[in-house]
Amino acid sequence: MSETTGTITAEGRTVSEAIQAAAVALGVDPSQVSARLDTSHFKTSDGRVIPRDTVKIIASAVDTASVSGATDAKAWLVGLLAHMNVEAQVASKVV
């Protein structure tokens, strides 16, 4: 998959769903998506608040070099837990 550079918008029924959609569009793993909520999605052109069934995010791909330490640590922890026969989900986030 080729990686798209720049910033995109993505929409979903949940923030998680929107991040998944952004990850597909950017060609990266969801853990490598930096996202913020697009609050204008919930407003009319004159600034009034309106209800929506979806959320919209503004997303971009995180530079892989900046998350390599977290990725390595996650892989190490997953391996350790598997070696210990401990079932767990491991997530990492660089802020």
Residue 59 contacts by C-beta under 8 Å, 6 or more apart in sequence?
7, 8, 9, 10, 18, 19, 22, 26, 33, 34, 35, 36
Q: How far apart are CA 95 and CA 87, in angstroms?
A: 26
Question: What is the structure's pLDDT at 5?
Answer: 58
- Structure pTM? 0.69
Report yes or no: 19 and 57 within 8 Å, Cβ to Cβ. Answer: yes
pLDDT digits (tens, 9 = 90+) for 37-89: 999 999 999 999 999 999 999 999 988 777 788 888 999 999 999 999 999 99
